[in-house]
Amino acid sequence: MTQEESKALGNNYNIAESLRFFRRWWKVLVAVLVVAAVVSAIAAWMIKPLYKSSAVIFPTNSNRLSKAIMDYHYSLDFMDYGIERDCEYAIQILSSKSMQQAVCQHFNLMEHYGIPSDDAHRLFKLDEQYRSNISVKRTEFLGVEIGVLDQDPQWAADIANYMATMYDTLCRDIHHDRAVSAATVMDGVCSAMEREIDSLSQLPTTPWRTKLIADKCEQLADLQTRATQTRVDKDLSVSYKYSVDQATPADKKAYPKRLLIILGGSLGAVVVCIFALLIFAKKNDE
């Protein structure tokens, strides 16, 4: 190869030199292309196919149900679709470690993914496999899509639907724990207010005492109403989502895209070969 040919891809590039280069090495490039295509095809067919199933939910408005029902001054409707804030809450819960642990335990994913129980890094590998196969993302219209990849299309659908169901369970647990704590505090405050009113009732009757007791009774009534709402929230069992699309088993694989793997592997091998030939030619010229 002449020195001018070695400059075909340099600053003095011209198409004639490039054509001469390819005319000289076309057999080598074709051989590399064929071998790379065959190897890529074998590798692509060895990859186990994955099927994808998706479930789509709309989180409900996070307004308190008891307040929406019992307080006629309350203008927000718990039946409304959730706003962006509720969508972000839903994504956080669906992506949480609590959700991951529930799914892994329910479906025994460590065994399903073929991770040995005595592997020192089994939890790390399980986490990596889980996060590569399961995704949670927001849709265009403030819905949440749960996407699951698996070698078994039925498993992929079952996991996605289970996560949608488990979302309600985790939401109830969170709200129940907060409501229990709030109910305990409210009951304590109401009891303290009742004792204060009883103490005031023992004092001599005066306009001041009568007004103070009336004010305290009004405060107690308000506290009791709020305590009742809190107890209602504690015992509620409602859904925190609207299920738009349930996951169904896919009838076509989502991964791998074998044609893309073959094209990418073949073209990549040819590009590497071209650079290798250019370097080889340059060394010979020197």
Q: Tell me what pLDDT residue 71 has.
A: 52
Q: Mean pLDDT, the chain, as a whole number? A: 81
Q: Tell me what pLDDT residue 127 has.
A: 95
Count how many domains the chain has. 2
Q: Tell me what pLDDT residue 241 has.
A: 84
Q: Establish if 251 belongs to a structural domain.
A: no
Number of helical H runs and strand E runs in the chain:
10, 4
Q: Tell me what pLDDT residue 80 has.
A: 55
Q: Tell me what pLDDT residue 147 has.
A: 95
Distance (Å, rounded) from C-alpha 148 to C-alpha 133? 6
Distance (Å, rounded) from C-alpha 139 to C-alpha 57? 10
265 shares its domain with 214:
no
Contact 66, 226 (CB under 8 A): no
80 shares its domain with 203:
yes
DSSP state of 165: H
22 shares its domain with 102:
no
For residue 63, give the amino acid letter. N
189 shares its domain with 135:
yes
125 shares its domain with 266:
no
Q: Establish if 57 belongs to a structural domain.
A: yes
39 shares its domain with 153:
no
95 shares its domain with 199:
yes
227 shares its domain with 196:
yes
Q: Tell me what pLDDT residue 55 has.
A: 95
Q: Establish if 250 belongs to a structural domain.
A: no
Low-confidence ranges of the chain (pLDDT < 70): 1-14, 61-82, 232-237, 283-286
Q: Establish if 169 belongs to a structural domain.
A: yes
91 shares its domain with 155:
yes
Q: Establish if 85 belongs to a structural domain.
A: yes
Q: Which domain holds residue 188?
A: 52-245
Q: Tell me what pLDDT residue 9 has.
A: 46
Q: Tell me what pLDDT residue 65 has.
A: 55
80 shares its domain with 145:
yes
Q: Tell me what pLDDT residue 234 has.
A: 67
Partner residues linked to 209 by β-bridges: none
Q: Establish if 279 belongs to a structural domain.
A: yes
167 shares its domain with 241:
yes
Q: Establish if 114 belongs to a structural domain.
A: yes
Q: Please, what's the largest Cα pairwise distance for the chain?
A: 118
71 shares its domain with 85:
yes
Q: Tell me what pLDDT residue 172 has.
A: 83
Q: Tell me what pLDDT residue 12 has.
A: 53
Q: Establish if 268 belongs to a structural domain.
A: yes
